[in-house]
Structure 1
């Protein structure tokens, strides 16, 4: 996954993003930008770009060679293995009102 950190300043910015923030969010972002020696704009763009890459990472196309594809298909067709302890754990109801 390519990271855009650090190259935001070097790239020509051609579009504008507008956003509103609470005073708390504004202060938090400004402190974090200062702590990382970045402008607020660079900090926000780097952070938002990283978050966007993470969200989209599992939605991308992944290419497999023939051997990897065959192994993937074999894994999908393999029967499920029942794990009694896991079944027991997942069937337990949590105590939502525990003190």
Structure 2
């Protein structure tokens, strides 16, 4: 852990933000009780939230029965879809004369 007020090696990008006095007070208090500098606390917390946001876009948690239902659908024979057949037989608008 870096000492308060110092920048660990490798940090070169600079970020800026504005906060209300109440937001600043909450962040400073949380950093204190976490034994982190304000910068480390904000970066750690923001990175955790960012990683979770990105994971939410890639990882879908389902129950065993839901996973099995999906596998059953994927393994079942294809079904005729008249709407898709009609769509793919039409000429694309950008190919029209």
- Report the TM-score, using the length of structure 1 for normalisation: 0.53
For residue 71 of structure 2, the aligned residue among 61, 73, 85 is 73
* Residue 18 of structure 1: aligned partner: 16
In structure 1, what is the Cα distance between the partners aligned to 2:75 and 2:9? Answer: 47
In structure 2, what is the Cα distance between the partners aligned to 1:22 and 1:73? Answer: 50
* Residue 81 of structure 1: aligned partner: none
For residue 31 of structure 1, the aligned residue among 8, 13, 29 is 29
1:53 aligns with 2:48: no
Secondary structure at the aligned position of 2:19 is classed as coil
Unaligned runs of 5+ in 2: 61-66, 77-97
Unaligned runs of 5+ in 1: 1-5, 63-68, 79-99
Give the number of the structure with larger relative contact order, counting CA–CA contacts within 8 Å between residues 6 or more apart.
1
Secondary structure at the aligned position of 1:16 is classed as coil
Tell me the CA shift for residue 70 of structure 1. 8.6
In structure 2, what is the Cα distance between the partners aligned to 1:35 and 1:21? Answer: 20
Secondary structure at the aligned position of 2:16 is classed as coil
Flag the structure with larger Rg: 2
Taking only aligned residues, the RMSD between alpha carbons, in angstroms, comes to 3.5
* Residue 94 of structure 2: aligned partner: none
The structure that is helix-richer by fraction is: 2
